[in-house]
Amino acid sequence: MTRAYDNWERLMAAVVKKLQLWELFHQHSRSPSICSQESESSDPSGFSSSQRLRVTCRRPEDVKEKETASTVEGSIHMSPRTFTFRELSAATDNFRPDLILGEGGFGRLYKGRLKGTQQIVAVKQIDENRGQGNRVFLVEVLMLSTLHHPNMVNLIGYCADGDHRLLVHEYMPFGSLDDRLHDLSTEKPPLDWNTRMKVAAGVAKCLAYLHDAAKPPIIHRNVKSSNILLGEGYHPKLSHFGLAKLGPTGGKTHVSTRVMGTPGYCAPEYAMTGQLSVKADVYSYGVVLLEMLTGRRAIDNSRAIEETNLVAWASPLFKEPRKLVQMADPMLQGRYPIRGLTQALGIAATCLLTDPDARPSMADVATAINYIVSHNSSPETASTRV
Ligand SMILES: Nc1ncnc2c1ncn2[C@@H]1O[C@H](COP(=O)(O)OP(=O)(O)O)[C@@H](O)[C@H]1O
Ligand SMILES: [Mg+2]
């Protein structure tokens, strides 16, 4: 069972108890690089300065596994441990260039193997020279230490050794959804219809959890196909929580904040006015769902100008029911149930409505996608267009 927190203070109290990260907060409260980067709050995720306390981080050998394990919907969850920089250098063979898995906005990601347990991990080295690096590190550690869901990536540990900031996540053997949709090869065949719907359902459940488990809700702010990672059996997990933000409280509809996120996925009201609500995640989810259904990238500069932006290309087609089938990803080779496709396109269209209030909640989206999964997933229906 997932756990609901009635308010942010209780959530933070749980973090203090579990992780004792306050020394880092204390350090950063004196650091101008983490403060005053957003107009309405100087803290990573909306914490007040009075909540910054001082403690020490426990070394890995001090952490007893029995103390730190908890169960989330049948799977064992371990609280993150601390690593020294030396341990992570050893795990990545001194950050060997051929172990680089990718490079995102905040630093490089390496495949590594932990000495001792031999566990394969993904080690992200946050580049301290990139703006927001410390903030992203802290928010990621706090979020992934406190919130747990089967469709959220696991944080195995972190390193805050001197100026080094590294995150150690579970290694996801099938890479990202982005790789699996847009970077195909003989070793990476296209995803079939059932797998796409299973991925869509898992991500929707995770976002519904983030929006509903904590009060105020947690807005991910960076939902995109490269942040959806695929494990064994293509089990999807949402990653990259460093830009997450607390949603509005006290009956307000939005928080006003600096615009972050990725072009092509960012909700129009947020991109234009900085007004952020959970419905911004719903919009970004709609873009990802559309990518899965059409096989097109959110922004594709190699296409004709009127087809560069996926949502702009799709919007007029949503209004023409007879053209919906033409939107399907050619890589599906017609192997999808037509009714399931039109239902899924309908869900994407409502997620992408310009008016945020008209978009559905993620809980409703999860229910609707589950309906498609349960009604259209037999091999017979998924192997034909009738
Ligand atoms: N935990 C992981 N396990 C395996 N591969 C990963 C993991 N996290 C990210 N990746 C791969 O590395 C790439 C870069 O990830 P990241 O550094 O988070 O940047 P971005 O999300 O901006 O692409 C991803 O697109 C994905 O292919
Ligand atoms: Mg990422």
CA of 226 to the centre of ligand 2 (A): 6
42-49 long-range CB contacts below 8 Å, 24 or more apart? Answer: 44/135, 44/138, 44/139, 44/142, 45/138, 45/139, 45/142, 45/143, 45/244, 45/245, 45/246, 46/8, 46/245, 46/246, 47/12
Q: Which residues contact 66 (CB under 8 A, 6 or more apart)?
A: none
DSSP-derived letter for residue 102 is E
Are residue 141 and residue 230 in the same domain, yes or no? no
pTM of the full predicted structure? 0.82
Residue closest by Cα to atom 16 of ligand 1: 104
The position carrying tokens 């341990």 is 87
Q: Amino acid identity, residue 203?
A: V
Strands 81-82 and 155-159: parallel
Q: Are residues 260 and 164 in the same domain?
A: no
Tokens for 231, please give them.
Answer: 């494990």
Domain ranges, residue 352: 177-384
56 within 8 A of 66, measured Cβ to Cβ: no
Distance, CA of 13 to CA of 29 (rounded, Å): 18
pLDDT digits (tens, 9 = 90+) for 190-217: 999 999 999 999 999 999 999 998 778 9
The H or E element spanning position 345 is helix 338-351
Q: Ligand 1 pocket: which residues have CB below 6 Å?
A: 101-105, 109, 122, 153, 169, 171-172, 175-176, 178-179, 226-227, 229, 239-240
Mean pLDDT value of segment 342-359: 97
* Both tokens assigned to 8: 């942010």
| 185 and 166 in a common domain | no
Question: Which atom of ligand 1 sits closest to the CA of residue 178?
Answer: 25
- 204 and 117, same domain (yes or no): no
User: Which of 28-42, 129-143, 317-331 has the highest average model confidence (pLDDT)?
Assistant: 317-331
Q: Is the predicted pLDDT of residue 337 greater than 80, yes or no?
A: yes
The DSSP element (H or E) to which 17 belongs, if any, is helix 8-19
| Gap from CA of 273 to ligand 2 centroid (Å) | 25
Between the CA of 375 and the centroid of ligand 1 the distance, in Å, is: 32
Ligand with an atom nearest the CA of residue 126: 1
CA 219 to chain centre: 10
pLDDT score, position 54? 24
CB hemisphere CA count around 119 (13 angstroms): 13
120 and 241 together in one domain: no
Considering the domain architecture, whether residues 184 and 161 belong to the same structural domain is answered as: no
Pocket residue to mutate for ligand 1, from 226, 243, 291, most atoms within 8 A of Cβ: 226
Which CATH number goes with the domain that contains 55? 3.30.200.20
**24 and 155 assigned to the same domain:** yes
59 and 115 within one domain: yes
Mean pLDDT of the chain: 81
How many whole angstroms separate alpha carbon 227 and alpha carbon 107?
A: 14
Q: What's the number of domains the chain is made of?
A: 2
By three-state DSSP, how is residue 54 classified? coil
- Domain closes at, from 123, 143, 170: 170
Mean pLDDT across 214-243: 94
Do 140 and 223 fall within a single domain? no
Strand, coil or helix: 159: strand
Confidence at 251, pLDDT banded by 50, 70, 90: confident
Q: Whose CA is nearest to atom 14 of ligand 1?
A: 102
More confident site: 61 or 153: 153
Q: According to the annotation, is 124 in a ligand binding site?
A: yes
> Is 143 in the same domain as 194?
no
Kindly state whether residues 114 and 213 are assigned to the same domain: no
Show the tokens assigned to 208.
Answer: 């519904």
pLDDT on residue 77? 64
**Average pLDDT estimate for 323-350:** 96
What pLDDT shows up at residue 15?
53
Task: Write down the pLDDT at residue 122.
Answer: 98
Question: Has residue 293 got a pLDDT over 50?
Answer: yes
pLDDT-derived band at 183 (thresholds 50, 70, 90) equals confident
* CA-based torsion, 134, 135, 140, 143: positive or negative: positive
Q: What CATH number is associated with residue 285?
A: 1.10.510.10
**With 50 as the cut, is the pLDDT of residue 243 above it?**
yes
Q: Decide which of 148, 170, 192 is a domain's last residue.
A: 170
Secondary structure element (H or E) that encloses residue 79, with its range: none
**Residues 232, 46: Cα–Cα separation, whole Å:** 35
- Ligand 1 atom with minimal separation from the 170 CA: 1
Cα 223 to Cα 168, 184, 295, 346: the distances in Å are 20, 21, 17, 20
* Distance between Cα 102 and ligand 1 center (Å): 6
What DSSP state is assigned to residue 100? E
For residue 21, pLDDT over 70 is answered with: no
Please say if the pLDDT value at position 53 is more than 90. no
Please give the pLDDT value at position 157. 97
* pLDDT at residue 40 is higher than 80: no
Confidence at residue 106, expressed as pLDDT on a 0 to 100 scale: 85
- Rounded to the nearest whole angstrom, what is the distance from the C-alpha of residue 296 to the centroid of ligand 1? 19
Question: Of 153, 170, 187, which residue constitutes the final position of a domain?
Answer: 170
Using 50, 70 and 90 to split pLDDT, how confident is the model at 10? Answer: low
Q: Provide the CB-side half-sphere exposure for 145 (13 A, CA).
A: 26
pLDDT of residue 329: 97
Q: Are residues 130 and 228 in the same domain?
A: no
Question: What does R_g of the chain's alpha carbons equal in angstroms?
Answer: 21
- Output 26 or 118, whichever has higher pLDDT: 118
**More confident site: 378 or 249:** 249
**Worst-scoring range by mean pLDDT, 43-47, 75-79, 145-149, 189-193?**
43-47
